[in-house]
Each structure stands twice: as C-alpha cells, then as structure tokens.
Amino acid sequence: MRHPTRSPSAKSSQHGSHAADSHDARPLTVLQCGCAMPDASSAERKAVAVDPEAKARNVKRLRRIEGQVRGLQKMVEEDRYCADILTQISSVHEALRSVGRELMRNHLRHCASAAIRSGPEDAEPMYDELVDLMYKHSR
C-alpha cells in the first residue's frame, strides 16, 4: 500500500487543524511519522500520526496486561482454581480489546483518513485493509 509523501511541516499543519476541531478545548499535539512507508532506519511501517496521550495510555495498559499475563502464568504453575484463572483470562482479553479500540480509532483518524483523502490509488487498498481489520476484530 502506498500513501502520499508529505513533509513534516505539511503533516503538522494538516493534523494541527484537526486539533482545533476537537471536542476538547486543549490543542492536540500529534507525533508525526511516515504513513505506512518504511522508516529510513528500518523496514517497519509507521503511523501517519499518534496522539501522545493515547500512546501513553496504551503503553500503560500494555504494561498492566503484561503483569496480568505473568500473574496468569503463576496461577497455572500453582494449580489455582480453573474458574479463577479463566476469569483473569477474560480480564486480559478485555484489556487487549481496549488497546485495540484505541489503536483502531487512531488508525481511522490519521492513517485511513490521509489515505482516503489522497485519492483512489491509496483509498482502495485502505478500504480493503479496514474491512480486514474489522473482520479480525469482530472474532
């Protein structure tokens, strides 16, 4: 999938205008990076933009989930009651879904919007990607 190349200043002005439209009175500071284009230092794709507060929330949630999973491992090792373990597994699933919702919101707000606005060449593959993501998340 190819996404348009924009200079960092063009991205800043594009996403900065969305901050003023936000329901929150505070301006939204958005971290910029190349949209689904390989990073110069690696072959990894990067998001168009990431809300730093959302990123911090996700990192915090994932660290909590990491601790929950370690707790699950310990519960299994200690032969804890199966229903208690299953309850904790359900809690981890919900925590992961919460991170997934936040990431999907960011993807729609920044990556998908940029691809769709750029024209049919980038929009069509993005539509396919979004449909695939919806099916994966609905399981």
Question: In terms of Cα–Cα distance, which of 108, 118, 110 is closest to 12?
Answer: 110
Q: Which tens digit of pLDDT belongs to each residue from 14-71?
A: 333 333 344 444 444 444 333 454 455 556 888 888 889 999 999 999 999 999 999 9
Separation CA 110–CA 127 (nearest Å): 14
Please tell me which residue, 137 or 67, carries the higher pLDDT value: 67
Return the pLDDT at 23.
43
Backbone angles phi, psi at 90, to 5 degrees: -60, -40
Residue 6 has pLDDT above 80, yes or no: no
Separation CA 99–CA 108 (nearest Å): 14
Mean pLDDT in residue range 109-122: 92
Percent of the chain with pLDDT over 90: 58
Residue 50's DSSP bridge partners are: 31
